[in-house]
């Protein structure tokens, strides 16, 4: 256990940040599944901008890296384009 006041503060801060990041990542996973689980191209295309928006917000908040976001968006676009 930490002994310094600043170390204790950092522990509390990290716990809050971890919980917040977990919430945002959960929201992202839900958005990804909303596109990936749909078998109809029109419905998936309608969900795609919403998923992109969630990913972009995570990049803006610094939760996701830019390249990771680009990979996720690319994966979604490939899936939608592959649907018939």
- Write out pLDDT tens, residues 48-66: 999 999 999 999 999 999 9
Count how many Cα atoms sit within 13 Å of the Cα of residue 72 in the half-sphere of its side chain.
24
Q: Return the structure tokens found at 5.
A: 């006041």
- Say what percent of the chain tops pLDDT 70: 100
User: What's the whole-model pTM score?
Assistant: 0.84
Neighbouring residues of 77: CB distance < 8 A, sequence distance ≥ 6: 48
């Amino acid at each position: 256990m930490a002994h310094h006041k600043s170390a204790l503060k950092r522990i509390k801060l990290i716990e809050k940040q971890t919980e917040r990041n977990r919430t945002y990542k959960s929201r992202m996973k839900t958005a990804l599944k909303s596109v990936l689980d749909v078998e109809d191209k029109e419905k998936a295309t309608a969900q795609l901008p919403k998923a992109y928006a969630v990913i972009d917000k995570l990049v803006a908040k610094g939760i996701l890296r830019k390249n990771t976001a680009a990979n996720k968006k690319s994966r979604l676009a490939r899936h939608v384009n592959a649907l018939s």
